[in-house]
Amino acid sequence: MAELLLIGSRGEEVRRLQRNLNAALAGQVVLVDGHNAIPLETQTGIFGKRTKAAVERFQKDYQLKLVDGKVGDETRKALAMRVLVVHGSVTRNANPSPSPGPTPPPKPTPPKPAPTPPPAPQPAPSSSPANKKSWLFQAQPALGITPPPFFSTGSGSGPSILQGQVALGFVYRTASEGPHWEFGIAGQPSVNTTNSPTDPHYTLQLQGSVTYADPYRRGRFHTALYGQVLAISNFSPTSLAFGAQLGAQISFDIIDDKWNIYSQAGVQALGQWNLYGPGGGEFNFGPVFTILGTTIQWDLSPKKK
């Protein structure tokens, strides 16, 4: 069994690994601290976090059993096969060819075994399977809070309102890694605390959103900036509201690209029309927070064979 290569490994074996990763991942984007790690630096022969990120990308792209950024026998074989397909050869020996010496006496030529047919080359994917456009279905249960507004033309200066809410909707994602745009539409029912007779007990919200995702990412932590347009129907008592919201979000992956937890903060402007008794419209402008939420998502895009 060959030596396991991982962060901290050094030497010619690491340099050969980096050269082969450069060949296998040519043209791809592997972001480390906001910069593309490809091509890897091969002069120092040091296995660092850029090399680990490239190994993880290769393992994920070619669906290996382990996606851990470490190079064992399985990753070596897959990488050798990939570089063989791309370039027709792969470096297997770190030692230079020995200088020619005296010609040894000829040995009897053994019979040649039947040639083994070469493995069928796998075509390089047109784009990285791990970084693609896709449609997603998302479910987002969350606990939110709406503090008193900064400004209100009505009676919106009471205590903060807590909401238990579940958003269900669809998102179109322009990429799955690196900074990218996401466009979504969702419905969100919620149950609210009622601190005064005019506070609605139930709310049904329809929202359209535009998100700039991953302007900054560190490991499993992600950030996002978002804007939303809102149509809200309140019940007990009944009112209608239309408005917009701007904010920022931070999230942490529990299962990559499937399940995360998040918090977000924003400001919203709402025009509200009361549909009960006396009174009419009012305008509110103030903060809104999601204390803790979770996103569970399913990729709806067809899988390429």
Q: Within this chain, do residues 25 and 146 fall inside the same structural domain, yes or no? A: no
| In a shared domain, residues 80 and 177 | no
Q: For position 80, which CATH number holds?
A: 1.10.101
The answer to whether residues 39 and 53 touch, using CB atoms and an 8 Å cutoff, is no
Report the CATH number at residue 295.
2.40.160.20
- Those residues whose C-beta lies under 8 Å from the C-beta of residue 93, and which sit 6 or more positions away, are none
Establish if 75 belongs to a structural domain: yes
d(CA 90, CA 270): 63
Asked if the structure places residue 119 within a domain, the reply is: no
Nearest C-alpha neighbor of 203 from the set 175, 170, 174, 163: 163
Question: Over its length of 305 residues, how does the chain's per-residue pLDDT go in tens digits?
Answer: 678 899 999 999 999 999 999 888 888 888 888 888 888 888 888 999 999 999 999 999 888 888 999 998 889 888 888 766 555 544 444 344 444 445 555 555 555 555 666 555 554 444 444 567 889 999 999 999 989 888 888 766 678 889 999 999 999 999 877 889 999 999 999 999 877 777 788 999 999 999 999 898 877 888 999 999 999 998 877 888 899 999 999 999 999 788 999 999 999 988 877 765 555 688 889 999 999 999 999 999 886 55
Number of Cβ within 10 Å of residue 267's Cβ equals 14
Question: Could you tell me if 44 and 144 lie in one domain?
Answer: no
How many folded domains does the chain comprise? 2
CB atoms within 10 A of CB 206: 14
Q: Give the domain range for residue 75.
A: 12-87
Q: Which amino acid is at 269?
A: A
Listed residues 70, 87, 104: the one ending a domain: 87
CA–chain centroid gap for 175, Å, is 8
Amino acid at 81: M
Residue 82 lies in a domain: yes
Looking at the domain assignment, is residue 4 inside a domain? no
